[in-house]
Every structure is written in structure tokens, then in C-alpha cells.
Amino acid sequence: SDDSEGILRRQSQRESAARTYARSLPVVPVRARGMTIEGADGRRYLDCLSGAGALALGHNHPVVLEAIRGVLDSGAPLHVLDLATPVKDAFTTALFETLPPRLARHGRIQFCGPAGTDAVEAALKLVRTATGRDGLLAFSGGYHGMTAAALAATGDTAVRGAAGTADARVTRLPYPYDYRCPFGVGGEGGAELSARLTESLLDDPKGGIQPPAGMLLEPVQGEGGVIPAPDTWLRRMRELTAARGIPLIADEVQTGVGRTGTFWAVEHSGIVPDVMVLSKAIGGSLPLAVIVYREELDCWQPGAHAGTFRGNQLAMAAGTATLAYVKRNGLAERAALLGDRMLARLRGLAAEHPCVGDVRGRGLMLGVELVDPEAATGPGAVPPTAPRLAAAVRRAALDRGLIVELGGRDSSVIRLLPPLTITEEQSEAVLDRLADALAAVTA
């Protein structure tokens, strides 16, 4: 049958268990607009996952559909390898207008793709080629994708698995995760200690770190549990990499295009990375991934980085429309404002429920860390994670017509990534449903 249950049953029989979202979200989407998804069973959901952050404007935004139709109706070829086209020219121009001025003036773009992980691969290959070194500094909790080098840079040992993905060239350093600060010092004190640790490892000739090819970081960790790095820490990372000639790579795959309240998340701290890795929202919901980088790093020989699908005309057109719309309508600023309001209400939830250990975020990238307060090891100790509770809350939210995703340590952080076009009314509905789900599960 073509009903939801039949579709779900057949897919779960045929599709690999590696499916991620489908396991936790038994929804068969057949229609979507903005923040709303309609399932084959007629149920409607508020989508706070937004294609894992790929939908800055929500589903099927009219300007995105119009841009796609424009390409279809123009007779332009859909597949163009990496040839220059008017569509690509418009996308590149629109993207450069959003970049930090130094990269906009003296930057290069490399079309990778089609996914975020491909752009991470390209960035790592670029800095390794440019520096002639091969080490990499990456961070605990970092997520960069599922292909070889990107996966090796990813922190989560469970997703790295045992399939030959360990990479001795990667040195992992502690990300400034305030709530679970490994130094037992919260706030900027913890971030400063993490920065000093990095510095001392780099400068100690007996520390065992070869001068690396680069440092790879997310300005706000997404999959790692929505952890915004303090601006002071990012500036310290910028200073200490710059002083040692180490290219700094900012993975803005999830944080880009207004999500965190500025167009690019690095703008909060004012740092200018040497390489920016961009995907998800830049394609306006279609697959597109690029790196932009300082021209001095442009070491590619012709043909040194190829790929059949580097010029998806529909994605570039959808991306151009998205970038322009976000900019023209000040959606980054709006994300900052609405995000602050949502965070304030989430703090209320934390005050009400002892199982809400921490709420945090930047702009419309919000996280609610669930814990087991009764299992705390002593007064003032940070309680352990609560994965079963988190899964139950996600399920209860779904029953109430709200799609949320989990992330973070032991998948105990509820992640909210609504489209930047979310209305105030919708943001209230999201929080009402989440509060209701939490109350139902903890009752």
C-alpha cells in the first residue's frame, strides 16, 4: 500500500540500518511549506530540524521555487560539470557579498560537493598541500562529516567506528564546553585554560605535536550538542594559529547563512579564518558545498581537485535566492532577536525541570541538555547525561506535532534549528509543545 505504514515498513526492510533520521522520525513527508511538514497520514508537524540546518528559509520558500523554475524554464543545462555559467557567476557574486571583507577581496572559491563532507575533504587536502604538512588539530565533540578525512577529524568515536577511520595525524583538543568543562572551571576561565593547553602543546617541543597543516573548528558545535565557543576563545585560536603559520579552517556548514544571528558565525568574534567550509543552507535546500580561502593558499594544480557534481545549477540558483533573501530581509538579525527570546523561555523550562541541565545557543541554533539530576555525584557536580529521557522527549514532541533532533554527548541534547523565517507565533507553538512533551515525560 502507499499509506505511511506500508512505506515505513518497506523502507525499514530494504534500507540499511545506517538510516539515521528515519529511525527516530517515523514521518513520511509528502508536502511541506515553510516550517510545516505534512505526512502521508495527513498529520502536520512543525519542523525544527530544517533539513539538519539546510533550510534557512524553511521548506519550498516561494523565492527558492521561483529561482529553480527560472533555471528550468530558461533552457539552461542542468548539468554543467564545473563550467562557468551565468547561474554560477550570480551565485559566486552573491556569496562573496556576504563574506568577511578580507576574504571577499582576496579570496578564492573552490566548488566541491555536493555535500558538506566533500567540502571538509577539500579544505583538509588544500591546507595539507599548501603547507606540506599533514597533522591536523581538531576538537572534542566536533562533527565534520562521514568521508575519510572529515570523519577522522570528527570527535565521536562511535560514529568513527573501527572501519579504518582512525587517523594518527589528528590531534584532538578540548572544545570549550562550558557546562561540562573538563577543567571544572566554567565560563571564559575554562575557555582560557583550553586555549593555554593548546598553546602549550604547540610550543612544547617534547609535546609530541608536529607542526600541523591546519586547525579545524566549528564556531558553534552543532552535532556536538549546540555548544557556542566563546568569542574570546575563538580570537585566541585565531591569534595562536596566525602566529605559528597554521591555517585556521572554520567549518560553517551548519552555522552559516544567518543561523547564529550573524551571516557567518565567525562574525561574532570578528575572526577571519584562512578557510571557510560552507554547505547546507548555501544551496537553498539543494546539495551544494564550497570552500572559500585566502588566495595565498591556492596551491591547486589544474585538475587537482575534481568532481562530476560541482556545478548543480538548480542548487546554485536556489542558493543565490536564499543568500539574497536572508540579506535583504535582515534574517540574521531576526534570528538573533527571536533566538534570544526563545532562549529566555527555555531558561524558564530549566528552572522548572531539574532534568534540564543546561540551555544554550546562538541565534536560532538552540540546545537543551537533559540530565539525570538524581545521579549527580555530589553537590554542585554536573549530573550525567540522560539519553533515554532525551529520546522520550523527542518522541513525545513528535506526538505533539513537533520535529526536533538530538545531538551532543550520548544524544542527550535536544536541538532546535527552526528556519530563520519562523514566525513569533510558531516559535511560541514550538516552545509550548516542547514544554508539554517535557512535562508529559517527567510526570
Binding site for ligand PMP (CB under 6 A): 52, 115-117, 120, 143-145, 218, 222-223, 251, 253-254, 279
Closest CA to 266 of 232, 222, 225, 234: 234
Instruction: Specify the residue, 40 or 146, whose C-beta has the smaller distance to ligand PMP.
Output: 146
State the greatest distance between any 2 C-alpha atoms of the chain, in Å, as a whole number: 68
Taking the complex as a whole, the smallest distance from the CB of residue 343 to ligand PMP amounts, in Å, to 20
Q: How far is the CB of 196 from ligand PMP (least distance, A)?
A: 25
Kindly tell me which of 237 and 389 has the beta carbon lying closer to ligand PMP. 237
Question: Quick check: helix, strand or coil at residue 196?
Answer: helix
State in angstroms the smallest separation of the CB of 115 from ligand PMP.
4
Give the chain's length: 443
**Which of 103, 417 has the CB closer to ligand PMP?**
417
Judged by beta carbon, residue 109 or residue 417, the one nearer ligand PMP is 417
CB proximity list for 153: less than 8 A, separation 6 or greater: 120, 124, 136, 138, 142, 144, 167, 170, 216
Q: How far is the CB of 218 from ligand PMP (least distance, A)?
A: 5
Residue 30 belongs to what H/E stretch?
strand 29-33
Q: Report the residue number, 116 or 174, with the smaller CB distance to ligand PMP.
A: 116
H helices of 157-312, where? 157-160, 187-203, 231-243
Least separation in angstroms between residue 380's CB and ligand PMP is 32
Question: Which is closer to ligand PMP, CB of 227 or CB of 396?
Answer: 227
CB of 220 to ligand PMP, least distance (A): 9
Beta-bridge partner residues of 161: none
Contacts (Cβ under 8 Å, ≥6 apart) of 6: none
8 A C-beta contact, residue 321 and residue 286: no
Q: How far is the CB of 372 from ligand PMP (least distance, A)?
A: 27
Task: Tell how far CA 129 is from the center of its chain.
Answer: 26
Contacts for 218 with CB less than 8 Å, ≥ 6 apart: 139, 142, 143, 224, 229, 250, 251, 252, 254, 255
- Cβ atoms of 410 and 323 closer than 8 Å: no
Whichever of 335 and 389 has its CB closer to ligand PMP, that residue is 335
